[in-house]
Amino acid sequence: MKMLLSTHWVDRDTVMEIRNPQDNTIIDTVPKASHRDVEIALASAEAAKIIARKLPIHERIAILRKAADLVLERQQDFARTIATEGVKTIREARKEVTRCVETLRLSAEEARRLGGEVVPFDQQPGSESRIGYWVRDPIGMIVAITPFNDPLNLVAHKVGPAIAAGNVVILKPHKQTPLSALKLAQVFQEAGLPPGILQVLTGDGSDIGPALVSDPRVRMVSFTGGLKTGETIARQAGLKKLAMELGSNCPTIVMDDADLDLALPSIVSGAFWAAGQNCLHVQRVLVQSRVYEDVKQQLIEQASGYHVGDKLNEDTDMGPLVDQANAVRVERVVNEAIASKAELLTGGIRTGSFYRPTLLEHVPVQTALYQEEIYGPVTILEQFHSYEEAITQANNVNYGLQAAIFTRDVNTALHAVSDLHYGGVMINDSTDYRIDAMPFGGIKGSGLGREGVRFAAHEMTEIKLACIHLQTR
């Protein structure tokens, strides 16, 4: 496929191969953008800012609605693209397409809501003759950098609100999964988005990323990815807005009064969705001692019964990791934990880029598996005795995206909302629960700012105040 640079789809002599993670076959090639391409993109975006800013709200709404309709019409094609270039099964991919449609429709709705407020200046003595208001102005040029695990919907989560708010976007999709993003850009063109407002640069982020994020014409960088890359971008970016979702190490607490028929399927789905390559992945399950053995045995049984294989097979529950190197990485981290006296309960088997659903217990706190984001189908079981012990264990990592608790006791649930140091707390859902309208983001090493369409749109604007000093008649 070609990339969208300035107002045209272009090829380049140097290309990057896009491979299916399942068998490493080449499914397409894309241009490898150069530093010259970055400069063209930046200059074009700067020129298109005035077009985006002046695009009437009703036209933004119409474009976003039309784009949503087109994605829905092409659901099967988008799902197959996601499942072929990425890590999701075809069933998981269809759900992502459905969410993308919702994200774009929410963006259309939010475009009409980006208003302001009247400021009562006469609250201050001496300001009785002043009136005024504030509005939200587009921030201008946004660089959006997206990961491989949600190659369509996470693009929509950045591009949709940006268009709704009147901005221009230079999108840099993950080098391994750019095809879904390019197809979405084609949809926006068909929906009537004026040329230059959206560009898609394909290439190696480590090569062109610094030039993109550090340019002073860029007023915001919206990044979803790993903590170390996020820290690098923060150092390079300079004085501009940063919105960063940097992953997590999510705990789910199971109290002894929990409804296990509700909790267990939710935990298993959250642990192994997209082969655990998900920032909301259930990485730690903390279980109260009275029900620990029961929960452990049921989780082992359900994880062992997972069908791992061909992503396009309707019966497949879980596909591969994004490449063999990452499968080897997961294997190494698990083996290091086992060498440190962790006990393997099920899984722990790698075949090429596939890694079986894996459960462990007695994982030492100091191991990488306990402290870092595994980004693979591996989940830790821990036992606790008291509520206070569970909260201490849950908070004992440098991440804070989402946490969860299963309990029938509303008092316990509401205390947990206060006591868990996370951006979101799910009650009687696993950490993997999310809708596209809710505020989404974390604290500590999990990032800065909030996504979710309304909240992303607000991040992508700046408040402008008007104060009018009325003259005496």
Q: Where are the domains of the chain?
A: 3-246+446-466, 250-435
250 given a catalytic annotation: no
The pLDDT profile of the chain, 473 residues, written as one tens digit per residue, is 999 999 999 999 999 999 999 999 999 999 999 999 999 999 999 999 999 999 999 999 999 999 999 999 999 999 999 999 999 999 999 999 999 999 999 999 999 999 999 999 999 999 999 999 999 999 999 999 999 999 999 999 999 999 999 999 999 999 999 999 999 999 999 999 999 999 999 999 999 999 999 999 999 999 999 999 999 999 999 999 999 999 999 999 999 999 999 999 999 999 999 999 999 999 999 999 999 999 999 999 999 999 999 999 999 999 999 999 999 999 999 999 999 999 999 999 999 999 999 999 999 999 999 999 999 999 999 999 999 999 999 999 999 999 999 999 999 999 999 999 999 999 999 999 999 999 999 999 999 999 999 999 999 999 999 999 999 87
Dmax over CA atoms of the chain, in Å, equals 84
Choose the CATH number for 3-246+446-466 among 3.40.605.10, 1.10.760.10, 3.60.21.10, 3.40.50.300: 3.40.605.10
CATH-assigned architecture of domain 250-435: 3-Layer(aba) Sandwich (3.40)
pLDDT value of residue 372: 97
Of 279, 331, 372, 451, the active-site residue reads 279
pLDDT value of residue 147: 96
pLDDT value of residue 14: 97
Of 92, 102, 245, 372, the active-site residue reads 245
